[in-house]
Amino acid sequence: MNIKEILKVTINLVVIYAIGGALLAWVYSETSPIIYKNKQEDKANALKGMMPVHLVVNAPEGKADAIKSVLPEGATVQLDGNNLDAVVDLYKKDKKTLLKKISKAGALSVSEYSDFDPGQPKGTWEPSHKQAEYFEVTGKDGQVAGYIVESYHKGYSGAPGIYVAMDKDLVVQKVEILSHGETPGLGDEIEKKWFKDQFRGKSLDHLVVVKGETKDDIQAITGATISTRAITNGAREAVEHMMKYKAGELPEPGHVEEEGASGH
Amino acid sequence: MDTRSNLEIFRDGIIADNTIFKLAISLCPAIAVTSALKNGVMMGVAVMFVQTMVNLTISLMRNFIHPRIRIPIFMLVISAWVTVTDLAMAAFARDVYAEMGLYVQLIVAFASILAHAETFASKNTAVPSVFDGLGMGAGFLFALACISFFRELLGKGTVWGLEVVSFKPMLIMILPAGGFLAVGVLMAFFNWIGMRFYGGKPAGH
């Protein structure tokens, strides 16, 4: 290979990679603001779904029973004329299907509202070196009704992100998966309803993974114990964090910043 | 230049040159994601799309690629298509991304795509290259669907997540070891059909 040949090859490679790089940079700059906005929207939607939701269904005469039958187990229903008020628990993935089923059953319209308000984040913490927010949920009466905490814990591939909702005594009410990269077919079982439903009513002592059948603790997914642990430990750390918050052991957010500024 | 018609190129991609059952390449993803039918089909669709687009791009660029640096260029084209698809889906097709995102990100270093950029697209014009990409992708999709169908059925007793038979499932089938078993048995089966009825040769010959 003489100099001329080497130059030719180098220029060829550099030109094509420069074009490829420019193209990728352009696509990234066009899409990343939209992707960021989508993620924020997803999180806001997930946050809404962490608290019981009232579905107000406008049901034509005679359709109320059909609509009641498609509501999930444990939903409390009140019928007032043509308006059906159902308090339900919605998981991110099931929401669309449920709304579809309700309109298929003959509903004219569906709207939703909640008695609870998470307000703005109370602060941030750092589970598994990720920035995460926590919220104080207030009920209709303006009193603290519970907490919602974003949490991360290392799994099989990356750290799955979750929201954990607890009541004011820090008993877990609901866990929802925000994002994960666990293996399709094994670890992604964490998204299944049976798995997430296990967390309801668990206090700190029972957020422990057990292999084999259990009602008291968290049952491991067969073939995906690491993914199970990631979610369970994420939830446990969230509860522990809120214990510190309630005990007033967390430094004020402003205080942390000052320390960081003077320390470095 | 390839002398086969476009339709023959497409058909050979599915049967005679089947990525998994005949060429025995890209076996790693074929085992990793085939524990459920839905996963296998999703992965197959994602690969089919990327393989076709890569073949098209390479065939259009082929006169501007110096033979000595063709491999890094192929890698660039593949990873660029994967990244662009990933970003575009996340931004503009959120519903599709929620289902497909995990799979597209797995594609980057994919032997079957690299192999056909090298053996076909870099030597042929755009139209046959597209047919080759579609055929190879469809063959991969078919293979993954077969493997994942049996693994899910035997390992979980379900098809596409719906329960069809109630027996104690053989958990090993959805674990990696079961993937090797399923690929091996199915490869033998398709080779047997090829030899018995069509006088074909077994894989690797």
Where residue B203 falls among pLDDT bands split at 50, 70, 90?
low
- Please state the separation of Cα A6 from the chain's center in Å: 54
Instruction: State residue A258's pLDDT score.
Output: 41
Asked if residue A48 belongs to a domain, the reply is no
- Does one domain contain both A107 and A127? no
Helices B176-198 and B126-156, packing angle to 10 deg: 120
**Domain coverage including residue B34:** 6-192
Is the separation of the CB atoms in A95 and A225 below 8 Å? no
Which secondary structure element, helix H or strand E, spans residue A40, and what is its range?
helix A3-48
Length of chain A: 264
> Which residue in A11, A31, A222 has the most chain B C-beta atoms within 10 A of its own C-beta, making it the best mutation to test that interface?
A31
If asked whether residues A136 and A190 sit together in one domain, one would say yes
* A8 within a domain of the structure (yes/no): no
Say whether pLDDT at A23 is over 50: yes
Give B200 to chain A, closest Cα distance, Å: 34
Model-level pTM? 0.78
Residue B157 near residue B165, CB atoms below 8 Å: yes
Looking at residue B124, the DSSP 8-state letter turns out to be: S
Q: Which residues contact A247 (CB under 8 A, 6 or more apart)?
A: none
Residues 6+ apart with CB under 8 A from A235: A151, A162, A164, A172, A175, A199, A202, A207
B103 touches chain A (CB under 8 A): yes
At B151, the amino acid letter reads: R
Q: Identify the sign of the CA torsion A210, A216, A218, A222.
A: positive
DSSP label at residue B64? G
CATH number of the domain that A109 lies in? 3.30.70.120
Q: Is A131 exposed, middle or buried (0-12, 13-18, 19+ CB in 10 A)?
A: exposed
Q: ipTM value of the model?
A: 0.82
Residue A44 lies in a domain: no
User: Residue B153: pLDDT band by 50, 70, 90 thresholds?
Assistant: very high
Q: Does the distance separating the beta carbons of A27 and B87 come in below 8 Å?
A: yes
pLDDT at residue A264 is higher than 80: no
Spatial distance between the Cα atoms of B136 and B17, rounded to a whole number of angstroms: 8
Q: Is residue A218 part of a domain?
A: yes
Could you tell me how many CB contacts below 8 A there are between chain A and chain B?
70
Q: Using CB atoms within 10 A of its CB, is residue B200 exposed (0-12), middle (13-18) or buried (19+)?
A: middle
Nearest residue to B29 (alpha-carbon basis) of B15, B19, B18: B19
Contact state of B76 with A8 under an 8 Å Cβ cutoff:
no
Question: Do A145 and A169 belong together in one domain?
Answer: yes
Q: Is residue B199 part of a domain?
A: no
Is residue A257 pLDDT above 60, yes or no? no
Confirm or reject contact between A12 and chain B (CB < 8 A).
yes
d(CA A168, CA A189): 29
Extract the tokens encoding B68: 């000595």
What is the pLDDT at residue A34?
Answer: 96
* DSSP 8-state assignment for residue A82: T
Handedness of CA B70, B89, A227, A169 (dihedral sign): positive
pLDDT value for B1: 65
* Identity at A86, one-letter amino acid code: A
Q: Please tell me if residue B119 touches chain A, with a CB cutoff of 8 Å.
A: no
Could you tell me if A175 and A228 lie in one domain?
A: yes
Tell me if A215 is assigned to some domain.
yes
Whether residues A65 and A167 share a domain: the answer is no
Of A134-143, A176-185, A232-241, A245-254, the one with minimum mean pLDDT is A245-254
Residue A4: both structure tokens together? 């001329």
| A17–B80 C-beta distance less than 8 A | no
pLDDT value, residue A262: 42
Query: Does residue A244 belong to any structural domain of this protein?
Result: yes
Say whether pLDDT at B165 is over 60.
Answer: yes
Q: Per mean pLDDT, which range of A61-65, B116-120, B200-204 is the poorest? A: B200-204
- What's chain A's average pLDDT? 88
Higher-confidence residue of A255 and A198: namely: A198
Domain count, chain B: 1
Q: Which of residues 126-185 of A touch B (CB under 8 A)?
A: 181, 183-185
Shared domain for A185 and A208, answered yes or no, is: yes
* Contact in structure between A221 and A227 (CB atoms under 8 Å): yes
Say if A11 is an interface residue toward chain B (CB within 8 Å). Answer: no
Q: How many domains does chain A have?
A: 2
User: Residue A36 domain-assigned?
Assistant: no
Query: How many distinct helices (H) and strands (E) make up chain A?
Result: 6, 11
The region of weakest confidence among A72-76, A189-193, B87-91, B130-134 is A72-76
- Looking at the structure, do residues A64 and A171 belong to the same domain, yes or no? no
Per-residue pLDDT, B108 = 77
Cα separation of A111 and A133, whole Å?
28
Q: How far apart are CA B21 and CA B140, in angstroms?
A: 9
Q: Are residues A105 and A189 in the same domain?
A: no
Residue of B62, B79, B99, B102 best to disrupt the A interface, most CBs of A under 10 A: B102
The verdict on residue B13 lying in a domain is yes
- Identify the domain containing residue A155 by its residue range: 123-253
What are the helix (H) ranges across A89-224? Answer: 92-104, 193-197
Element (H, E) at A54: strand A53-58
Q: Is residue B198 part of a domain?
A: no
Please list the residues that pair with A166 across neighbouring strands: A147, A172
* pLDDT of A76 above 90: no
Q: Do A185 and B39 touch (CB under 8 A)?
A: yes
Residues A106 and A133 placed together within one structural domain of the fold: no
Of chain B, the percentage scoring pLDDT greater than 90 comes to 55
The pLDDT of residue B194: 82
Please tell me the least confidently modeled range out of A93-102, A121-130, B15-24, B36-45. Answer: A93-102
Any alpha helices (H) in chain B, and if so which ranges? 6-14, 27-32, 37-61, 70-92, 94-104, 111-119, 126-156, 176-198
> A71: how many CB neighbours lie within 10 A of its CB?
20
For residue A90, count CB atoms less than 10 angstroms from its CB and return exposed for 0-12, middle for 13-18, buried for 19 or more: buried
pLDDT of residue A263: 41
DSSP symbol at A117: B
Indicate if A104 and A136 belong to the same structural domain: no
> Do A38 and B94 lie within an 8 Å CB cutoff?
yes
Lowest-confidence range among A27-31, A172-176, B62-66, B101-105?
Answer: B101-105
Is the confidence at residue A61, as pLDDT, over 70?
Answer: yes
Phi, psi of A11 (to 5 degrees): -60, -40
> How would residue B189 be classed by pLDDT, with cut points 50, 70 and 90?
very high
CA distance A44 to chain B (A): 15
Q: A140 lies in a domain? A: yes
> Do the Cβ atoms of A38 and B171 come within 8 Å?
no
As a whole number of angstroms, the distance between CA B11 and CA B15 comes to: 6
Q: Which of B3-12, B43-52, B91-100, B129-138 has the lowest mean pLDDT?
A: B91-100
Residue A252, pLDDT score: 62
Residue B197, domain member (yes or no): no
The percentage of residues in chain A with a pLDDT greater than 90, rounded to a whole number, is 51
**A165 and A107 housed in the same domain:** no
Residues A21, A22, A23, A29: what is their CA dihedral angle, to the nearest 10 degrees? 110
Assess B16–A contact: CB distance below 8 Å, yes or no: no
Q: Which residue has the tokens 């053989």?
A: B170
Whether B200 maps to a domain, the answer reads no
**Are residues A171 and A108 both part of a single domain?**
no
Q: Read off the pLDDT of residues A163-208 as tens digits, 9 standing for 90 and up.
A: 999 999 999 999 999 988 887 777 888 998 899 999 999 999 999 9
The answer to whether B57 contacts chain A (CB < 8 Å) is no
